[in-house]
Amino acid sequence: MLALVTDAFGGFGGIAQYNRDLATALAQCRQVGRVVILPRHADGEGPALPAGVRQLAPRAGKLPYALSAVRAAIGQGPFHAVFCGHLHMAPLGAGLARYLGIPLWLQLHGVEAWGARCAQRRAAERAALVTVVSRHTRRHFLHRASIDPSRVRVLPNTFQPSFAPGPKPDYLLERHRLHGRQVLLTVGRLAAEECYKGQDKVIEALPRMVEASPSLVYVVAGGGDDRARLETLACNLGVERHVLFVGLVPENELPDYYRLADVFVMPSTQEGFGIVFLEAAASGLRLIAGNRDGSTDALADGMIGVTIDPDDADELASAIVAALAGEGPDPRGVDRFRFENFAQRVGELMGALLPNGATGSSR
């Protein structure tokens, strides 16, 4: 399989992790002998590649990337399917799949699928298989695309075994002076053009909570150009001493940041799924999410955490207070999203995509 992705091994964030998990699962499928990944970006070397996976050098520009994809399709084959990891690459993936005479598998994550351009939508409609991370994304895509719904399947995120319960790490307690403090946590980008994750809503709810719980601290993990606005908001509300911005967290420290917290909260409104919910639940945290987007799939319709109206400040504050008291659904229900189940689902999808084994050609 030729995989065209934004980033994978050496990348950072939820989509990169999804692509790594998918490539690992694909390499385990009986229909797949090897997976060749062409990323647009790779910030570092990343973890060792799984057996059966090869990643080519990244190509950032659109034209260099397209030329590299053509060279890979011709010179690295034969291939029997093309995987396209982002809607923006769908026209390129569809063109290569058509030239090679093989099926296209397209992956959709969230907001990119809700406002697809005409060329992207037409390319998506030519895919033999479209996988989406949540029912929410699937509904939005099917509302806009003319495609047989049976070709659009839900394949939710999974999580790594490094995310597990444990004691609060001393080095983080010391670094941030959090001994004896109750900790709320959000992990997510702070992007001004994508300010839908709800960090501002949590900050707005803090004044009524810190009055009753003076030890409460809200830890905001993630980098981006929206940080200044959020810092100003905290100052204006007089809760700046209760909000801690820790910036972009190194991947090796992220499991410990979850263990540092008592409750994970992200009242988003446009989340495609939210792998951070799985990571937090696997770490033993109580979860609070918005009820308007793909977060409901990540929380298994309330079986793993509490979903609230993200625009109702009183409901959000009440949910946080209850979660800090240890009330609410047991996050151990996250086991349904373990990698073993994800890999089994990938195998089923490959069996449907190539029911008779490897077919097709590389010209």
Q: What is the pLDDT of residues 209-235, one digit of tens each?
A: 898 889 999 999 999 999 999 999 999
Per-residue pLDDT band at 331 (split at 50, 70, 90): confident
Indicate if the alpha-carbon torsion angle 269, 333, 29, 20 is positive or negative: positive
Instruction: Report all structural domains of the chain as residue ranges with CATH numbers, in order of start.
Output: 2-158+339-353 (3.40.50.2000), 170-336 (3.40.50.2000)
> What is the structure's pLDDT at 355?
77
Average pLDDT, the chain: 92
What's the one-letter identity of residue 164?
A: A
Q: What is the pLDDT of residue 359?
A: 42
Tell me the pLDDT tens digit for each residue of 273-287.
999 999 999 999 999
Taking the model in full, what pTM does it have? 0.90
Q: What is the mean predicted confidence (pLDDT) over 44-65? A: 88
Give pLDDT tens digits for 177-187: 999 999 999 99
- Distance between CA 44 and CA 347 in Å, rounded? 29
Residue pair 14/298 in contact by the 8 Å Cβ criterion: no
Q: Please give the Cα distance from 345 to 349 (Å, whole number).
A: 6
Which is nearest to 269 in space by CA: 299, 297, 309?
Answer: 309
Assess whether pLDDT exceeds 90 at residue 117.
no
How many beta carbons lie within 10 A of that of residue 69, not counting itself? 22
Please say whether the beta carbons of 293 and 277 come within 8 A: no
The 10s digit of each residue's pLDDT in 118-145 is: 889 999 999 999 999 999 999 989 988 8
For 139-167, the pLDDT digits (tens) are 989 988 899 999 999 999 999 999 999 99
* Per-residue pLDDT, 357: 58
- Backbone φ and ψ of 304, nearest 5°: -105, -25
